[in-house]
Structure 1
Amino acid sequence: MSTFDDRETAFENKFIHDEELAFRAEARCNRLLGLWAAQLLGKSGDSADAYAREVVKADFQEAGHEDVVRKLASDLTGKADPDAIRARRAELLVEARGQVLLEG
């Protein structure tokens, strides 16, 4: 293999790795967001975990995170508006990225 081929392979591997980390961070963020919402809804234990899984699944409806925001805004009517949900999501995304990076 030439040096160029080695570099190309290295860049491809880094891209794959970065995309995998980003996906895991997004999923972790959605889980944390679901647990936060579950708390606002008065859920705990297994019920909160089940709700968090629903939130993670909601993210697969369309590209981006607005599908999750819509679900939570609907579920949290009177408790949190879409802007508050987006703000909390931004905070939790930072936390989720840190957790995923620490896990390696």
Structure 2
Amino acid sequence: MTIRDRGKLKWAPAAFLPEYTKMLRDLDTDYHRKQKPIIDEFQFEEFDQRICYAMEYNFAVKLTKWVDGFNYEIVGSVHFVDPIHKEVRLKTEDCDVERVKMAEVIAVEVIE
């Protein structure tokens, strides 16, 4: 006689408990969050130099930004650097303009 196990299905919440499913989803999201890396002034200066270099020679840039515990990568050419609002405007491949705050940037890579 073999035992028929339902596997992961037995741990799945019932459909009549939406709060429980939301809590499990939030718990999974919180588990994958990362702390923001500490960026010093020298790294910010290096980011600025790379952005200026890419803007001068019209190279593409891959910016990695940290938002609410998750890293996102944006690839595009530098359209405008706004020193007043401290943001970079990138023109992406699908001709959209993305505004990225410099406080969110954790890595800059020039794609030649």
Q: TM-score, normalised by structure 1?
A: 0.28
Q: TM-score, normalised by structure 2?
A: 0.26
| Structure with greater strand percent | 2
Higher RCO (Cα < 8 Å, 6 or more apart): 1
| Structure with greater helix percent | 1
Question: Larger radius of gyration, structure 1 or 2?
Answer: 2
